[in-house]
Amino acid sequence: MQLFDLSGRRALVTGSSMGIGYALARGLAQAGASIVLNARNAERLAEAAEALRAEGATVEELVFDATDAEGVRAAIDGFEAEKGAIDILVNNAGMQHRTPLEDFPVEAFDRLMRTNVNSAFYVGQAVARHMIKRGAGRIINIASVQTALARPGIAPYVASKGAIGNLTKGMATDWAKHGLNCNAIAPGYFDTPLNAALVADAEFSAWLEKRTPAGRWGKVEELVGACVFLSAPASSFVNGHTLFVDGGITASL
């Protein structure tokens, strides 16, 4: 369907050498987009790019640290000048640190905020400046079920994802008039490298299965439809929205 066709579009996905970022990049490629993978680790990025090329995807690699504002600006401006337009941005770079709030190290808090919040601002602003000139663009920020809910031991992460939800609203409020659509996807509990310790915890997995109406962990491929929708013409009047993909966990007590 043309409403979901991404042919001729180029999508940059930050933190896309593995996990959710890789799955979203792969899904966007399957919908017709050419993709730009990003990570700090050039070797791991090259491996991910090669795997996607083997599936027939058109892939470019852009190595930069999403928490380095100057490095981000230089990388994005250089890419736009040399390669062309970035039509879709998925701000996926993120991290987790689990410690009771009263013991949470200050340096870990700062690092988590830089990775989860600052990076979305840095990359979003750098890409949006080019999108604004063209009068079109899609920005998708990866939020979390923790945008709406808290859980013990991850209060700073909860704060960071709450910030992503409101940053998304702010982006839409400032940039919709320039033709940009800025939205967020809020995954529930997915089986990813970031959640490996929880997936391996039988007690937590049992709790999660009871707590989630769908009764299971999510699979990263189940986020692709939401990402394609928010990248495609089908969502042309959707702006400032956070789409929860969580098996119903935020709908149920």
Q: Which active-site residues does the annotation give?
A: 157
Tokens 């380095």 found at: 68
CA dist 115 and 112 (Å) reads 5
* CA–CA separation, 251 and 212 (whole Å): 9
Q: Tell me the chain's radius of gyration from C-alpha atoms.
A: 17
In this structure, the number of other CB atoms found within 10 A of the CB of residue 42 comes to 11
**Which runs of E-coded beta strand occur in the chain?**
10-13, 34-39, 59-63, 88-91, 137-142, 180-187, 242-245
Interatomic CA distance for residues 153 and 98, integer angstroms = 5
